[in-house]
Amino acid sequence: MSDRTLRVLAAGVAAAGVGVAGYLTWAHYGSGSVVCPVGGGCETVQESEYAEVAGVPVALLGLGAYVVLLALIVWDAPIARLAAAALSLIGLVFSTYLLVVQASVIEAFCIWCLANDVVIAPALAVVTSLRLRS
C-alpha cells in the first residue's frame, strides 16, 4: 500500500473519529440523550461515572485527540508522523480501557463507543504506525 493511500486512509479514519466523538460530545452537552441505533446501552454508558474524567467528558477528550491527529496527518512532517503514531497508541490503550469498562463494570455497550474502540482507534494506530516505515 502506498504512503499516499495510507495517508488518505489515516485522514479518513481520523475524520470518522472526529465525527463519532463530536456527536457524543454534542449529545453530552445537549441532553445526555444519544440515538442508539443498535443495542440500547448508549445512555447507560454515556451517563455512567466513567463517561467523564475530572468533569471533562471522555467524548470531548477524544474529539480533541482526533482533531490534533487530523492536523498532524495534514502537516505530515516526519516528526508529525511520529507524534501521530504516538498519539494513536495512547488512544488505542485508552480505548481498550474504555472497552474493558463497558464489558466488565458498566455491563452495557454503546455502539458509538464500540465503533471508536474496536474500529477507529485500532485502525488509526495501525495506519499511523505503518506510515513510520515509509
Partner 1 sequence: MADARQQRRPSGLVVALAFAIAVGTAIALVVLAVALRTSDDTTAPTPTPVVDLTGIPQAGLVLGSPEARVTLIEYADLQCPACRVYTESYFPEIVERYVRPGRVKTEFRGLAFIGPDSETALRYVLAASLQNRLWQLQEALYRNQGDENSGWVTEELVRRLAAEIPGLDADRVVTDAGSNEVDALVAQAAAQADAAEVGGTPTLAIQVGDADPFSLQPGIGLSDLTAALDDALGS
Residues that bind partner 1 (CB under 8 A): 27, 30-37, 40-44, 46-55, 58, 75-80, 82-83, 85-87, 89-90, 92-94, 97, 132
Closest separation in Å from C-beta 31 to partner 1: 3
**What's the grid cell of residue 60?**
470531548
Closest separation in Å from C-beta 117 to partner 1: 13
Closest separation in Å from C-beta 15 to partner 1: 21
Q: Which is nearer to partner 1, 18 or 46 (CB)?
A: 46
CA–chain centroid gap for 81, Å, is 18
Q: Which is nearer to partner 1, 71 or 93 (CB)?
A: 93
Q: Which is nearer to partner 1, 9 or 92 (CB)?
A: 92
Distance (Å, rounded) from C-alpha 60 to C-alpha 102? Answer: 18
Q: Which is nearer to partner 1, 5 or 33 (CB)?
A: 33
Greatest Cα-to-Cα distance within the chain, rounded to the nearest angstrom: 45
Closest separation in Å from C-beta 62 to partner 1: 12
DSSP 30-99: HTS----SSSS-HHHHHTSGGGEETTEEHHHHHHHHHHHHHHHHHH--HHHHHHHHHHHHHHHHHHHHHH
**What's the grid cell of residue 35?**
440515538
